[in-house]
Structure formats: C-alpha cells, structure tokens
Amino acid sequence: MTIATTLDRIPTAVPTELARGRGGGGPAHRRIVVAYGFWIFILSDMIMFSALFAAYAVLSSNTAGGPTAPELFNLRNVFIETMCLLLSSYTCGIGVLSAERGRPTLFLVFAAFTFALGAAFLFIEATEFAGMVATGAGPSRSAFLSSFFTLVGTHGVHVASGLVALVYLVAQVLVKGLRAAVLRRLLCWSLFWHALDIVWVGVFTLVYLMGGHS
C-alpha cells in the first residue's frame, strides 16, 4: 500500500495519542513548526498594536481645541479602504492556496490582485493623511491627532512592508519555483497579511466608526 492511498484513509478524527501537536505521532511537519514561530511573531506585533490602541483610546478626547474625529473622517473612504484590504486578504489566501496546489500562474494572477488592492489601500490612506496635514490637522496639532497618526500610520507602514515582501516573494517564485521553502515563506507572508486585516478591523471600528459617531 503506498503512502498516498493510505493517506486517503486517515479518519478525520485522529486519536489523541497519535495526533501531532498533542505529544504523539512524531515531530510536527516543518511547515507547521515554521508557521507556529511566525504566529508568535504576529502575536508580539499584535501586542505592540495593543499599546498603540490603548494610547489612542486614552488620548482620543484630548483634541486641544483642534479638529475632532467627526470633522476629520470621511467614512465613505474608510469603507473603500476596508473593502480593498478585505478583498486583498481574500486574493492573498486564494493565491497562496493556488501555490500550494502547484499552480504558479494562478498564484501570480492573485498576487497581482493582492498587490493592486493593497496599493489602492495605501494610496487612499496617504491621500487622507496628506489632506489632514494640509488643513492643519497634522500629528503635532493635538494628542488625539498624534495618537491617531501613530496608530493608523504604523498599520500603513506594515501594509507597505507587506507589499515589499510580496514583490520579493513573487520574484522568488519566478526564480526558484514553488519549492517547499518558498511555499513556507508564502504561508508566513499570508499569515502576516491576514493579521494586518485583523488589526484594520480594530482600527476602523475603534478609530473611525466609534470616533466618527460620538
């Protein structure tokens, strides 16, 4: 019996004493271990964001007589930004899944979509920031705006670095092909990109929707 036909018969509910990750069944696969390590990094990044969220929550009412949240935020733009990031998260997941299933062309198509949507998000955010600074609502205006630019700007920097990493990974796929090491890097990158979308859920809820309302 070959491994392939045996694997087809693995029951979905693996007995606990044989399950990897619960002390049985031998060491976990490398991609599981690598993804776990990267997951720890993502969680530490989340903890850094939590400090910025806490700073914003504490300082958001200290406007020092300057512009307040409802005067500054354009919720229509925020909605478009949110949809860009959400769809890019989707195309990223589909792209990496295509790569894992050995379809490099499909991966490249979805990587291009992911990059375009991420770049659109960054463009809208940069335009918003430039408009705010031009109207005198820059980060030095009030504690509220300092914490706003720090929180949202840090997220934007993460998105920008994610786009750079995506270009780097696409180059690796083109040069090296879909070998195991490249696939692991792609998996880690998709974790990073999905995590950025989770942070953005917090940003648009706490900063834009709750701030723009009250």
Partner 1 sequence: MSNPEHVFDDRTPGVEEHEPTASYLSYTVGLGLAIIATIASFIVAQTNLLWPPGIPVGLIVLALAQIGVHLVFFLHLGSGPDSTNNILALAFGVLIVFLVITGSVWIIANLNTNMMSMPAQ
| Residue 111 binds to partner 1 (criterion: CB under 8 A) | no
**Rounded distance, CA 204 to CA 131, Å?**
19
Q: How far is the CB of 133 from partner 1 (least distance, A)?
A: 25
| Residue 171 binds to partner 1 (criterion: CB under 8 A) | no
The secondary structure of residue 10, as a DSSP letter, is -
Query: Which residues lie below 8 Å from residue 63, measured CB to CB, with a gap of 6+?
Result: 142, 143, 144, 145
The answer to whether 122 touches 160, Cβ cutoff 8 Å, is yes
Tokens of 52: 């910025």
Please say which residue, 66 or 133, places its beta carbon nearer to partner 1. Answer: 66
Site for partner 1 in 26-85 (CB under 8 A): 26-32, 35-36, 39-40, 43, 46-47, 50-51, 53-55, 57-58, 61-62, 75, 79, 82-83
Rg (CA), the chain: 21
- Centroid of chain to Cα 20: 28
Interacting residues toward partner 1 by CB under 8 A: 3, 6-7, 9-11, 14-16, 18-22, 25-32, 35-36, 39-40, 43, 46-47, 50-51, 53-55, 57-58, 61-62, 75, 79, 82-83, 86-87, 89-90, 93-94, 97, 100-101, 180, 191, 194-195, 197-198, 201-202, 204-206, 209-210, 212-214
